[in-house]
Structure 1
Amino acid sequence: MLRIALLFLALLALPLKAATVTNLYQAQVALPDTDRQSEQAARRQALEQVLIKVSGQSNIVENEVVAKALGSSNQYVSQFSYANLDGQRTLQLTFDRSRIRTLLTQANSTFWSEKRPNVLVWLVEDANRSRNIVWDQANNDLANRIKDDAERRGVPVMMPIGDFEDVTAISTPDIWGGFVQPIATASQRYQPQAVLIVRARQQGGEQLAINWQLYTGNVEQLGRNQVAPSEGRSSGEAVTSVAQMVDSVADILGAKYAVPLGGDTSGQLAVVVENIHSSKDFFTLERLLTNLTSVAAVNAYRIQGDRVEFSVQLLSTEEAFQRELSQDRRLSAVAAPQEEQLEPAPQLEGVIGTTTVPAQPASLEQLGDEQPSDAEPVVITPAKQAAVFSWSSSAPVSTSVAL
């Protein structure tokens, strides 16, 4: 079929995916003894770690449904093995994705997919009366702790590399003083979805005081002072202080990007996307919508010129769908003219997926405008319109990140 041929051609030119975390359903925990009780405790701890990563909530274990499930962790395990880490015997576990999601749905919790925002960390360490920016290649103990805790929470982080471009764009006082403009300018090259500014002061021994700010969203908005940061402080032993900061940051990001499961949903939405000029654009956009965690099904029911109209069946709330959709930089919201609001149509142009597409259309417009002579009239009553978006296939997309 022509549709399959077009899909194959589009697959050959897929854009890079957004940051993808690959170890959400895996955990490695210490196994101090070989008795059955110690192993069961380790399995419970591993399930806690995975549920926290997947839900985006550090307090998920306080949920009554989850707390009960922790007592029977074995039913969620799909694979396990034993290993050694720094001389300590460990238990490595992989949990079943579908069962974890079912549990979170039963708990009316949230689900944070593998697609997650890249977080750029600007870290200044104040030690021995000297303040310095910590670069990625420095093998710094504090930076390594941040990376390890971020991996524990399933948050992809990156440190600036510290080359000539970095050192000429930003200085230690810029970061310590929290000056937004130079931080935004220096962050541009990394195209992060969030920027974390960390000021860490050594207080003797292993004691550490941390002051942090988290900016989420577009870096350009950060540079225009249009984004207010989330802020926090933690102090005490370095291990505890860093863990508290990362947990707070992960909870904030989880609250922003995770999708609510269970409860009422908003049903069906009509989504309009403009500036679609090729079959490649169309299939890329269709896959994008279909792969969203908040989406159950997608049907492209009308093509008019460079404008495609989709009917989207939701698994979650409309707010969760809009929030998830906004993560992709190739889509930008535009105002819908009042006279173009969607209305039920007795005969749709270019029905895709419900009628036969004519052979070898010369363009996407022809694919949309030519209706097969034997096609039956299709009546679809779209739900309310969610938004109108403009598509840009040249917008930057984050690369995959394996934690």
Structure 2
Amino acid sequence: MEILLNRLLLALCLFPAAWPAIAQNASAPGEVRVAVSDDSAAARSAAIETGVVRMITRLTGDPAVGDSLIGQRLQEQADRFVEGFSYRRLETESETETEDAADAQRLELALQLDEPALREALVRAGVRVWPSELPTVLVWLALERDGERQLLDASAAAALAPGLRSLAAERGIRVFFPLLDLADRQTLTYVDVAAGFTEPIREASKRYNADLVLAGRLQRDATGYVRSRWIGLGEEVSRGRWQAAGPSVEAVVEDMVPRIARRLRRVYAFLPDLDARRRLEVEVRGVTDLSALDALQRRLGAIAGVQRARVTRVAADRVTLSLALQVDSERVLAALADDPRLAESGSGWRWQP
């Protein structure tokens, strides 16, 4: 085993491109889609500026960034961030047999933008950005309507609030709903969510490993008007309770997006060290085969602020990695301590399969 891992180490040194990338910041450029009236140069130019604003909003979680000085400057230089584009025609739902086919199509410009370059420009201007591993939010919904009470699964929740995930994605936040399978139902009930009982909500949410958990009770009257009560839970995000009301379930749920973004930005948005000059050496025991090594590397790559991880030594079941950091080492060490797959062992860590 040791011989095999040492051969792998040699291959990594000689052919680094052959190994799956560890650095999260080396992600593919982001895609942004913008509706356009036609394929003229003028319409395309305006759409590119819009696309840049959407991308920097996604990178920061802050919709006001487009109106800032750096936002205006990036819009003025928008063309330099375009790596490719294409047009797509999408059928609209209003198409009829008598309607002109051209009028029944929507033209869309799909842009490939240089996301790392935009991120760097924001950071150099002192604007905090999301980590490459975007924050996640789990949403539990308990709905009362027409005298019936139910805890909604992913399909039902997505149908009631179809725009929630896309609205959150516009701010760089990944929202998802629970499966509500047997494991969930054994841990959590409608009453638990409706009453805001924190312990069962926390317990049921553990398996989803979300950065923030939202649990909401929604009461819809005969007119469709909705009143809601919410509780927010997170390991690092401060908990809170609040109420909201609106003309529909969709409106009430989607109105949570700005509140979610503000809470998450206070904890997760940061100013990375673009040169990744900080270093942290990590020794991990219990890495007994290649699959464990691959899992470990992926785990380290999921830590916010780790720009690059390089294997420097392999001995028996011990692997030493040098991490290039964009944040203080204390922040990364805290993330390691919170990782259920890693247990502190002496001066290092032990991998727990």
- TM-score (norm: length of structure 1): 0.64
Given candidates 131, 149, 156, the residue that maps to 2:174 is: 156
Give the alignment of 1:42-61 within 5 angstroms: 42-61=47-66
Judging by fraction of residues, say which structure has more helix.
2
Which moved further from structure 2: 318-327 or 149-158?
318-327
Does the 8 Å CA contact 2:313/2:319 hold for their aligned counterparts?
A: yes
Distance in 2 (CA, whole Å) between partners of 1:27 and 1:124 is 33
Q: 1:3 to 1:158 in 2, by over 3 A?
A: same
3-state SS of paired residue (2:80): helix
1:369 maps to what in 2? none
Does the 8 Å CA contact 1:198/1:213 hold for their aligned counterparts?
A: yes
Give the alignment of 1:139-288 within 5 angstroms: 141-202=159-220, 208-217=226-235, 229-236=239-246, 238=248, 241-261=252-272, 267-273=277-283, 275-278=285-288, 280=290, 285=296
1:390 paired with 2:346, answer no
Does the 8 Å CA contact 1:83/1:91 hold for their aligned counterparts?
A: yes
Q: 1:7 to 1:50 in 2, by over 3 A?
A: same
Distance in 1 (CA, whole Å) between partners of 2:37 and 2:223 is 28
Q: 1:123 to 1:86 in 2, by over 3 A?
A: farther
Distance in 1 (CA, whole Å) between partners of 2:317 and 2:191 is 49
Q: 1:100 to 1:186 in 2, by over 3 A?
A: same
Give the alignment of 1:1-400 within 5 angstroms: 5-7=7-9, 25-32=30-37, 37-85=42-90, 87=92, 88-138=106-156, 141-202=159-220, 208-217=226-235, 229-236=239-246, 238=248, 241-261=252-272, 267-273=277-283, 275-278=285-288, 280=290, 285=296, 289=300, 294-295=305-306, 312-318=323-329, 320-322=331-333, 325=336, 328-332=339-343, 389-394=348-353
Which moved further from structure 2: 237-246 or 50-59?
237-246
Q: 1:208 to 1:107 in 2, by over 3 A?
A: farther
1:178-233 CA distance string (max 9 Å, x none): 11222233334445444221233446767544443332239xxxxxxxx8524455
Q: Percent identity?
A: 24
3-state SS of paired residue (2:217): strand
Does the 8 Å CA contact 1:48/1:70 hold for their aligned counterparts?
A: yes
Q: Displacement, 1:170?
A: 2.4
1:102-142 CA distance string (max 9 Å, x none): 22222222343443454332112233454322112337532
Which moved further from structure 2: 231-240 or 92-101?
231-240
Which AA in structure 2 matches 1:392? W
Q: 1:391 to 1:114 in 2, by over 3 A?
A: same
Distance in 2 (CA, whole Å) between partners of 1:122 and 1:149 is 17
Which AA in structure 1 matches 2:352? S
3-state SS of paired residue (1:144): coil
Distance in 2 (CA, whole Å) between partners of 1:184 and 1:113 is 24
Q: 1:72 to 1:207 in 2, by over 3 A?
A: farther
Which AA in structure 1 matches 2:285? N
**What runs of 5+ residues in structure 1 fail to find an aligned partner?**
219-226, 337-387, 395-403
- TM-score (norm: length of structure 2): 0.71
Does the 8 Å CA contact 1:24/1:114 hold for their aligned counterparts?
A: no
Q: How many residues align?
A: 328
Q: 1:181 to 1:206 in 2, by over 3 A?
A: same
Distance in 2 (CA, whole Å) between partners of 1:57 and 1:274 is 38
3-state SS of paired residue (2:178): coil
**What runs of 5+ residues in structure 2 fail to find an aligned partner?**
13-18, 93-105
3-state SS of paired residue (1:67): helix
Q: 1:201 to 1:283 in 2, by over 3 A?
A: closer
Distance in 1 (CA, whole Å) between partners of 2:278 and 2:157 is 50
